[in-house]
Every structure is written in structure tokens, then in C-alpha cells.
Amino acid sequence: MTEPMLKITNLHARVEDAEILRGLNLEVNAGEVHAIMGPNGSGKSTLAHILAGRDDYEVTEGSVTYKGQDLLEMEPEERAHEGVFLAFQYPVEIPGVNNVYLLKSALNAKRKHQGLDEIDSVDFLTDVKQKMKLMGMDESFLKRSVNEGFSGGEKKRNEVFQMMVLEPELCVMDETDSGLDIDALKIVAKGVEQMRSPDRAIVLVTHYQRLLDHIQPDRVHVLARGQVLKSGDKQLAHELEEHGYDWIRYEEAESA
Amino acid sequence: MKAVDDTATRLLERFQGERPGDASDWIAGLRRDATARFAEMGLPNQRIEDWKYTSTKAIAKRDFARPDAAGATADADRIEALRIPGLDAHRLVFINGHYAAALSDGEMADDAVRVRSLAQVLAEDPDALKNRLADAAPTDFSGFTALNTAFAEDGAVIEIAADRRVERPIELLFVSMARDEPVAAHPRVLIDAAHHGEATIIEHYVGMDDPQNLTNAVTEARLAEGARIAHYRVQRESRKGFHIGSLHVNQAGNSRLEQHNVQIGAALCRTDINTALNAEGAETLYNGLYLVNGRQHVDTHTRINHNKPNTTSEEAYRGILDGHARGVFNGRVYVAPHAQKTAAYQSNDNLLLSGKAEIDTKPELEIYADDVVCTHGATVGQLDTQALFYLRSRGVDLETARGLLLYAFAEAAIERMSIEPLRDWLQGFVIDELPHAERLQEFV
């Protein structure tokens, strides 16, 4: 059997004095879509940030390997070059820095790392325009600054759009569904579905089940108190929807 | 004349002589009074609360000469090089305070606006300045204002007609040039906008050949009912020079002042930006950006007087300080009793790039009415780590990400300016000052 693309073993992490992840295990294979669900404070956003390299968290134990490499040893930009992408829950506004130029520079940095030439400007723009259309983004977007003056929904769509242009191998999406109305949710789901590929893994971090009405996950994991308490197929998400997170805690108590 | 100290005595002696307008009793009287006031006041010292953080000793130490009008010449190509690329403005050039007709676009006179040099008005029609000169700008605002009023001999008089919009910006380019010895210039600008008149005016201060000169500029403006003035102050004097400047505005009802204050040059720079909202519906925007490093010192004092109800002000100043640079920001907002429904917003954000850089920031709110909305906030900090992480997660290396965020910080001030060529130039300037400028170019 081949190595999983992402392998998290007994991961412990803390921020200041609070231990947030307490022995988390997870394996994600290329070609799969995983949903990580959990109540607030379960550590799911922390996990997403650690995967992308945010250094506010201290990993105290355990390991993360990505494509056989020690992910935790890599700087955030190296991870991006290696194909890790985090869609932010709260994308940051950067006035004066053009959306498209940032994207082009991000893409070229990755290509350079792969030993490829810079992308042809015309090809790039054609690709960008086609994907913008798919995400229902206005042409004016090309001239705007990164996330500046974007509505919450626009910011989320922009994250998915960036992901589509950069074509990462590991997509980690941190509550991309939160704050979206149903139309925006459908557009986002369509974008994610489009990204599904045998060479790519997608990890959806979400509080609610509703995104999973539109994206079919291969695996669902329930996180609580910094651990994966239960894993299953998409049926698990429906059960959660029906019974709430307390159901898992109850089951856990029963088995203890 | 007996003066308060030796410096004042010396300056009064150094700057004396004939000036255009002396023949007018009114002008002569104004100068006499100002001279007497300066003799009493001298240069401000740090015992004065408003000058607590800024020492004028370096100015007092130097012996500035009075530049003569005949010396107001320069190589036209070199002046041309100081242009803000692409800025289509009607331009008046001043060399060490004196109007240089040969280098300028000339007098401007049409049904919308009249622009003349102050020296010309003083010589030909001094009484036209009666009750207009030294009206918005009190002679004793500071020792420097008194000094300017006593010795100002040139500058510009800009008169905007009622119900007219002046399409082309008016640029006053003040070039401070190195001479055999340091010189002091006291340019004076008078802006008079009749009701519903509109114009954009740029005061552009530049140093050439690294002079150790002093520019002591005073501008006063009167905005009649409904007038709209966009006033830019771009200060990029020599890093060895001294720049003291003040703006004093009186605003009538429904008038709008937009004031952009860019400070990047000079060893020592102090600007005072003052406006009085004297009738309902008057509004003001103050937008400031200071970028300093090395041993530069930049001090901004602003004042907004809400004297009547239903007046609005918005003020945002941003600064980036590196090296041993020192910044001072003092933003005073006064709301008079009965000036109800006043809205005043103020912010001052600073980035300190080195452990040795320093900023003293202070809001000063004096509010005597109860039905008002007044907010203020000051920040002093480093770059936003969340934003840094966002860029790095997109594959941007740390140094470039830092540069982009510094640029973005300045851009928040630059984007409020409506003159595109000025924005472009400032953006380019900011980028050139940052490490890895060539990499940053890709993103903007």
C-alpha cells in the first residue's frame, strides 16, 4: 500500500498555556475528500493553521508527514510551493496589492520551485478569467486589491478561486462555508467539486453539515477536545446533524 | 530692537531689509507688529506644551541668510526633473522663496481662478490683501508664524471665483537650493475660495543639492459657503534641511476641505494643520502620511475646531518610522458648547521598524457639547502577523511579504488622494524605499 499523502500521528499542540490538540491521528490519501467536523473549541481551526505553518502554535509532540516529508520543518511559503493550500476562514485585506498580481506571483513561485518557467501572461489571464467566471466573480476583480472591500461571501469565493488557480495538492479549507448564503454555498461547493482529482486531497474543516449536502466527503471525522473521536463515511455527518455533537460525547462516555 | 534672546535678535538683524509692499502703511504696520511679536516670542522652546517633543535648537544654531530675489534662477531641466510624472498642473516655481517667472507657467487668470505671486500683489496692489493676510493665520500662532509674517515677501495668492470649478490642479513648487551659506525662506500663500468655488492646490517642497536651509512656510485659506478645496502638502526637503510649515483655514457653511499632508524629507519637520468649521455643514478630511528614517524628526500638530453644530471631521494619519527617527503626532479636536451633532473621527497609526525609532502620539479632545460622536484611536506597532501568514501561505517569502504589508500600510493613506499621478509617484517612492523593491513591483 502506498503512503498516505498526509499522515498526522499523535499530534499535540498548544497556544500559550492551553493545550489544544491532544494526540490527534489522521491519514488522508490522494484523491480523497475528508470532512473534519467538531464543536467550537475542538481544535479544528488550529489543525488547519498548523498544517499551513502558522507559528502561533507550539507542537509539543507527534509528527506530520506530507508526501513523505516532515511538514512541520517547513516554512509556510515552502509548504505553499510544495502544494499545500489553506483557504482562510477570515481572509486578510491587503490594500494596494493587486489580487491577480499576488496570484501570479504565488503561481510563479511554485513553478520556480518545481523547476518550471514562469507562466505565460496570456495563458495565465485566460485561465484566471475562466475560473473567475466559474466562481461568479466580476471582471472588476482583476483591478482590485487583495480582499479589500470584499463582502464576506466574496472573500470566501476568492479563497476557492485562488485554490483553483494555484492547483494545490493538499487543500485545507477552514470553515469556508461559514457566513455564506445558499447561493454562495453552492458556488463554493461547485468549485470544490471541480477540484476533486486522483492527485489531490481535500480537507474540509466545518462546524455544520450543510456544506456536505453539496460536497460528498469520502471520510468524516469528528473532533472534540483535540482528538479524533470518531471517523466514518458521509453517514456520520448525517447522524451528527440529527443528534448534535452531544451524541458523540455520550457515546464516548458509554464506551469509557 | 530688544528681543527675548540672542537668537531672536540675530534673526531679526539677518532678515531685515526692504520688501515689496513696504510702501503700504497697512503691510508695513503688519510687519512691524509681527516683528515686535517675534522679538517677544523668539523661536519656540520645549517649555511650550505644543513644542514639548521638538527642539528648535538646531535651527537656532545655524546662521541663515536672506536669499535675494535676483538669485531665484535655476537650470530649467533640473527643475523639470522635480516634476511629479504625469501631473498636469498649472505650476508656479519658487527658488528659495522667490517666484521664478521664467521657470513657471505664469500668472493664471480666467473666469474661474486668478493666481499671482505674492510679491507681485504686494508691489502692485498691497491693499487688496487687507484683512485677508494674517487673518486665518494668527501672527502669534508661534514664533515661526510671527517670523513669517514679519519677513514674508513672496509666495502665492490664489483666488477662486464663485460657482466655478478650477479643472487643472495648481502646483506651487518651492525649491530649496544650496547656496554659499544656508538661507531661510518664508513663503506665504493665501487661498481665497468664493462661494461654491472648487480647486485643487498642491504645495510641493523640494530640496536640491542637499541644502541646510530653513523653509518657514505659512498658508492661510478662506473657504466661503459651499467651497471645496483639496489641499496637498508634499514635503520632500533635503535630509539636511529644516521645514516648518503651517496651514490655517476658516471654513464657512457646507464647505469642504480635504487636506493631504505627506512628509518624507528634512532633518527636522514640523507642520501645523488647523481648520475652523465656522458654520453648519462644514466638513474636513485630514489625511497624513509620514515616512522617516535615519535621524529625521517629524512633528505634526493638527487642530480642528468644531465651532458650530452639524460639522464633520475625519482625520487619519499614518507613519512608518525606521532607524533612529522620531515622530510626534498631536491631534486636537475642539467642540464648542452648542456645537451639537458634531462628528469627529481621528486615528493615528504607526509602524516602528527599528527598536530605536520612536513616536509620541496624543489625541487631545476638548468637547463642550453633549450630543456628539467623537472617536479617536492611536496604534503603535509592528506588522500584522495574521496578514504576514496569509501572504506566506500563498508562497510569498517572508521578506517580500513584509515589504508588501509596509506598502499596503502606506497605501491606505495614499489611496485617499484623488490625484492619480501623485498616487502613482508616491507608491513608487514608497516601494523604492523598501527592501527588495524590484520584487515588490510585481504585486502592484
Q: What is the pLDDT of residues A116-148, one digit of tens each?
A: 999 999 999 999 999 999 998 988 888 899 999
Per-residue H/E/C for B73-127: CCCHHHHHCCCCCCCCCEEEEEECCEECHHHCCCCEECCCEEEEEHHHHHHHCHH
Contact B394 A80 (CB under 8 A): yes
- Average pLDDT for B242-255: 98
Q: How does pLDDT run across B298-334, given as a tens digit for each residue?
A: 999 999 999 999 999 999 999 999 999 999 999 999 9
Of B393, B407, B427, the CB nearest to A80: B393
Of the candidates B397, B398, B443, the beta carbon closest to that of A97 is on: B443
**B411-443 tens-digit pLDDT:** 999 999 999 999 999 999 999 888 778 888 888
Task: State which H helix or E strand residue B345 sits in.
Answer: strand B343-352
- For A101, the 3-state DSSP assignment is helix
For the cut 80, the answer to whether the pLDDT of residue B257 exceeds it is yes
Residues A110, B395: C-beta atoms closer than 8 Å: yes
Residue found under cell 470553515: A175
Residues of chain A with pLDDT under 50: none
Element (H, E) at B144: helix B143-151
Task: Name which of A15, A77, A172 to mutate to probe chain B: the one with the most chain B Cβ atoms within 10 A of its Cβ.
Answer: A77
- The pLDDT value recorded for residue B320 is 96
pLDDT at A243: 83
Region B369-376 average pLDDT? 96
* Closest by CA position to B125, among listed B159, B173, B161: B159
CA distances from B227 to A225, B222, B334, B419 (A): 63, 9, 22, 19
In angstroms, what CA-CA distances link B326 with B32, B294, B295, B413?
36, 9, 7, 20
The span from the CA of B180 to the CA of B182, in Å, is 7
Which has more pLDDT, B232 or A179? B232
Q: Would you give the DSSP letter of residue A255?
A: H
pLDDT in tens, B71-127: 888 999 999 999 999 999 999 999 999 999 999 998 888 999 999 999 999 999 999
Nearest-angstrom CA–CA distance, B270 and B299: 5
Task: Please tell me the distance from the alpha carbon of residue A72 to that of residue A89, in angstroms, as a whole number.
Answer: 21
Q: Determine the pLDDT at residue B311.
A: 98
CA distance B409 to B383: 9
Helix axis angle, A99-113 to A152-166, nearest 10°? 30
Confidence of residue B1 (pLDDT cuts 50, 70, 90): low
Number of helices and strands (H, E) in chain B?
A: 10, 21
C-beta atoms of B412 and A106 within 8 A: no
| CA-based nearest residue to B327, from B305, B345, B303, B354 | B354
A229: its cell numbers: 473521536
Interface contact B390-A109, CB threshold 8 A: no
Pick the residue of B393, B423, B440 with the most A CBs within 10 A to test the interface with A by mutation. B393
Q: CA–CA distance from B43 to each of A45, B141, B323 (Å)?
A: 59, 12, 28
pLDDT at A252: 65
User: Residues B15, B21, B23, B24: is their CA dihedral positive or negative?
Assistant: negative
Length of chain A: 256
pLDDT at B284 over 70: yes
Residue in B263, B357, B342 with CA at minimum distance from that of residue B302: B263
Mutation target for B interface from A50, A105, A145: give the one with most B CBs within 10 A. Answer: A105
pLDDT interval class at B65 (50, 70, 90) = very high
DSSP single-letter state for residue A92: P
What is chain B's length?
Answer: 444
Map residue A40 onto helix, strand or coil.
Answer: coil
Q: Are B142 and B214 in contact (CB under 8 A)?
A: no
Q: How far is A54 from chain B (nearest CA, A)?
A: 7
- The separation between CA A253 and the C-alpha centre of its own chain, rounded to angstroms, equals 31
- Residue A162 has a pLDDT of 96
Considering only CA atoms, give the Rg of chain B.
21
What backbone torsions phi and psi does residue A97 show, to the nearest 5 degrees? -100, 115
- At B141-153, the pLDDT tens digits run 999 999 999 999 9
CA distance A94 to A97: 6
Q: Which helix (H) or strand (E) holds B316?
A: strand B312-321
Type of residue at B301: H
* Closest in B392, B405, B410 to A77, CB measured: B392
pLDDT of residue B72: 86
- Identify the pLDDT of residue A239: 86
Confidence at residue B108, expressed as pLDDT on a 0 to 100 scale = 86
Other Cβ atoms less than 10 A from the Cβ of B354: the count is 12
Q: Does B131 touch chain A (CB under 8 A)?
A: no
Residue A25 in 3-state DSSP?
A: strand
Q: Which residue does chain B place closest to A142, by CA atoms?
A: B444
Are the C-beta atoms of residues B134 and B165 closer than 8 Å to each other?
no
